[in-house]
Amino acid sequence: MPSVVDLFCGVGGLTQGFVKEGFNVVAGIDVDESCKYAYEANNEATFLHKDVRDLTAESINALYPSDAIRILVGCAPCQPFSRYTNRKTADSKWQLVETFAKLIREAQPDIVSMENVPELEKHEVFKGFVRVLVQNGYQRWWDLVECVEYGVPQTRKRLVLLASKLGPIKIIPATHPPPRRRTVRDAIGRLHPIDAGKASKDDPMHRASALNETNLKRIKATPEGGGWKDWDDTLVLECHKKETGKSYPSVYGRMRWDAPAPTMTTQCNGLGNGRFGHPEQDRAISLREAALLQTFPKSYRFIEPGTDVVIKDVARHIGNAVPVRLGQIIARSIKKHLEAHSG
């Protein structure tokens, strides 16, 4: 039976995609223990609180059933490769991709998948990752994937890699051509209205960050799809009046109902962190809205019963996640590959 181990699993976006496609996910591994509840509450898999750098081939292979086709997947933390990251602080985290490659070389899984930010493709560490696959007999495919073409309601582009010892492998064709692309309205249009700083009485995850008086004036002055360039000069930040500030047109922006959302980040709950304003309500998007835009099921449990919702922590978990739908597409691609090459 094909079985999956998910490295850098977080709260389980990639794992949930594999679960939806009927795979046996035996374990998710992450250094952030705060992800444990959400991972295990929503997926029939064990969360292992470990630093991937401390894993061995033996410890990974011991997780799989003895007769399994072994699938190793993961999304190494992508912040080091982002164009917003200070290069000088990135090197230590880049080593996580090298660690992933080392584990592949030593554990020799049958199938591998890696998902990351597009910028990774330009770096030597990615070329080294591919060299390991070549040297160990994997057939491989990778490309930059427009997630909106696969049912994710975001303008999110990701580097997706698939590799297999069984034969040629690649991602399935796009499932959502332009007439079928999902929008903000499709994802969150049915949720009840809430105010900034408030939560729905029916859903503690449908909770929006508070806004101070000035930011409330700013969001009220912002039309659907607009941003700070639509404001009166009295509301514009001094930094945006400078020439350098003109390169940040999306901050304090509202989404459009009938277009995809921007890429969800770990700060997607904040009005000033991107185009994270609700299309018509005077607030930033709620945690539930962010999770739905990341294609988590509405039933997905992020908060242990009886504990308080800490907005910044849950936003970090949601923003760090692989969109569930993208995870499902990766899983479906592997399933199609197995049908063609196993047995």
Active site (catalytic) residues: 78
Query: Nearest 5°: phi and psi at 151?
Result: 95, 10
The span from the CA of 250 to the CA of 275, in Å, is 5
- Alpha-carbon dihedral sign for residues 228, 288, 76, 49: positive
The span from the CA of 215 to the CA of 249, in Å, is 16
Q: Are 134 and 140 within 8 A, CB to CB?
A: yes
Per 3-state DSSP, the chain is made up of helix, strand and coil in percentages (nearest 5) of 40, 15, 45
Residues 6 or more apart in contact with residue 207 via CB below 8 angstroms: 194, 198, 199, 200, 286, 287, 288, 309, 311
What is the CA angle 13-185-84, rounded to 5?
55
The span from the CA of 53 to the CA of 101, in Å, is 11
- Hey, what amino acid is at 330? I
DSSP for 164-188, please give it. ESSS---PPPPS--GGG---HHHHH
The span from the CA of 157 to the CA of 244, in Å, is 25
- Alpha-carbon dihedral sign for residues 296, 297, 298, 303: negative
Q: What is the DSSP letter of 148?
A: G
The span from the CA of 116 to the CA of 160, in Å, is 7
